[in-house]
Amino acid sequence: MSDVRHVLVLPDRDAAEEVAHALAERFAVDEEPRIVRDALAGEDDAEDAQWLVVLRDEEERLDPAELDAFAAEWEGWREEP
């Protein structure tokens, strides 16, 4: 088993939460993705933050291009490793 993770970058918390819930339906993931707030150093304003959805894919069964297109539905993208 590998330690492959996909990181989807979303513009706000609502989008990140929707993506995390929709991943189970669309891609049949077993484990709940983690949601992480990512802000530049010194940035306290939530408007300046990005939200990350971190998804483990140890079996490497998820297609990165499909995940990128999926995140784009919420104005996000998949971060390249």
Helix (H) / strand (E) element for 43: namely none
Q: What pLDDT is attached to residue 55?
A: 93
What confidence score (pLDDT) does residue 40 get? 63
Q: What is the pLDDT of residue 7?
A: 96
Question: How does pLDDT run across 8-24, given as a tens digit for each residue?
Answer: 999 999 999 999 999 98
The four Cα atoms 34, 37, 38, 41 give a dihedral, to 10 degrees, of: -140
Render pLDDT for 34-64 as a digit per residue (tens, 0 to 9): 999 987 655 555 556 789 999 999 889 999 9
